[in-house]
Structure 1
């Protein structure tokens, strides 16, 4: 009987310890991103301005590859770019080009309260895009591969073309033959497959960018345009993991933000539907 009590007592202690460890579980993952630049750069060109093309190419090489960090515990995560000081891109001719990648702000998610807060920006005006946590319809696959020291499993989701994307493409077709220059080329929008590789060895539902919801940490993700690859994971470090939701900017839902962004872009178009750009020398 005494031995039975000892077994029960030890089981209670081990269970309590495991629960405490799970509650205090924390980590930080570092990701390298790479944009499919051969397609993206091909969409933006200037037939009459070689100076613009050269300056744009130089700046694009810097912004197409970045480093991000994902700080997380069991219920929260914060995805943000690792900041580094660099001068504004400038070509030999003196033209200044500055490129900002849309959706590059901080992304905070809280699975406990099912809430997400993303930083947004429209021409230097800050926004807080606040919505219920997105529940992605992941399809789990049997394929596996090794990333670093972790066995990873494949998962996919299909992102359907939105009504806004279809409308934007129709506007492009209407204005295509009116344009005097051919700065932007647009392909017909199609359904997009997002591929993720996650590991069960790190049992959290987090991942890079806006993606989450798998039964393990996402170590690699390809959304068709950008690839995020984890280069380092630190778990339960003695260093404090800071996870703070963004709190600066006007609060909007994603739909409201998209509407505001479209309104601003439309205001920059001329009568032929061309977006007006201003460059500095």
Structure 2
């Protein structure tokens, strides 16, 4: 009986929204955790780890605003002062990177304007329907009833939070054969796929959400993938100050596939640097 009332209420909400044009604003908070062992943390003191984590905090905890209507959305990181000594260039978390992401589900257009190592890119994305699996679980997020959906997706090559360091000091060939991922004792590895868990509410019947996520029968309020969680903290329907939703135009035009190739080349360069430093740190025993 409880489910019947819930679905009846949701249906009423959807009909109410469908009877008129509407706009909305949703604020999201993103948080990413990092395994310091992936970046030489095993050789660091606890004090040094804490210092680095504090410096990285502004990169790992961010807030975003999603402006949306029935078919379009614009997702942008909220500006804040740079922390002293904070760097730019790395993007920790594919859902929490800086820049602007535009989606139009009606015209199948997705664009992201972002900076990578000092260069501005305008990336075009494929808008094929995401392969969500709808679950039966539900929970309350603020004033909204949200339902669970999951899917597997390829790991974003710019999402460093999913990287992990392989086992070290394993000279046993038999053991190495058993573990096909153990191709090098000190190599940083990236999983090929990651599970995405989303919670959406049909009470706001727009098929969009934070970052790259869309394609569910309601606004996505929460997304968890890898070490990153994005949670909606505020929703305003038909805000008094309506924001313009327009396509970003800044940056070198490039497909997502080509952009990922650019990132891959840069990551190979960085990995060689890390491996070189690691060799010197072990008294020249690396390569």
Q: Same fold (TM over 0.5)?
A: yes
For the residues of structure 1 that align with 2:149 and 2:219, how far apart are their CA atoms? 12
Q: CA deviation at 1:174?
A: 5.1
- Please name the residue that 2:27 is paired with: 30
Aligned pair in 2 of structure 1 residues 162, 43: CA closer, same or farther (>3 Å)? closer
Q: CA deviation at 1:248?
A: 1.0
- Please name the residue that 1:194 is paired with: 196
User: Could you tell me whether the CA contact under 8 Å between 1:33 and 1:229 is conserved in 2?
Assistant: yes
- Please name the residue that 2:37 is paired with: 42
- Please name the residue that 2:239 is paired with: 237
- Please name the residue that 1:78 is paired with: 74
Where do 5+ consecutive residues of structure 1 fail to align? Answer: 1-17, 90-95, 178-184, 277-281
Where do 5+ consecutive residues of structure 2 fail to align? Answer: 1-15, 167-180, 279-287
Q: CA deviation at 1:60?
A: 1.9
- Please name the residue that 1:59 is paired with: 55
TM-score normalised to structure 2 length: 0.72
Q: CA deviation at 1:52?
A: 6.0
TM-score normalised to structure 1 length: 0.73
Partner SS, residue 132 of structure 1: coil
Q: Please give the residue correspondences for 1:1-281 in structure 2 after superposition, counting only pairs within 5 Å.
A: 22=20, 24-37=21-34, 40-46=35-41, 53-89=49-85, 100-102=90-92, 103=94, 104=97, 105-160=99-154, 176=185, 186=188, 189=191, 191-268=193-270, 270=272, 274=276
Partner SS, residue 156 of structure 1: strand
Q: CA deviation at 1:20?
A: 8.9
Aligned pair in 2 of structure 1 residues 145, 47: CA closer, same or farther (>3 Å)? closer
Aligned residues: 241
Q: Which has the larger radius of gyration?
A: 1
Aligned pair in 2 of structure 1 residues 199, 46: CA closer, same or farther (>3 Å)? closer
User: Could you tell me whether the CA contact under 8 Å between 2:150 and 2:198 is conserved in 1?
Assistant: yes
For the residues of structure 2 that align with 1:154 and 1:62, how far apart are their CA atoms? 29
Aligned pair in 2 of structure 1 residues 47, 70: CA closer, same or farther (>3 Å)? same
Larger CA deviation: 115-124 vs 24-33:
115-124
User: Could you tell me whether the CA contact under 8 Å between 2:90 and 2:117 is conserved in 1?
Assistant: no
User: Could you tell me whether the CA contact under 8 Å between 1:106 and 1:246 is conserved in 2?
Assistant: yes
Which deviations, in whole Å up to 9, do the C-alpha atoms of 1:25-84 show, x marking residues without a partner? Answer: 1000001111133xx333223555658645422212332211111110111101111111
Partner SS, residue 244 of structure 2: coil
User: Could you tell me whether the CA contact under 8 Å between 2:89 and 2:117 is conserved in 1?
Assistant: no
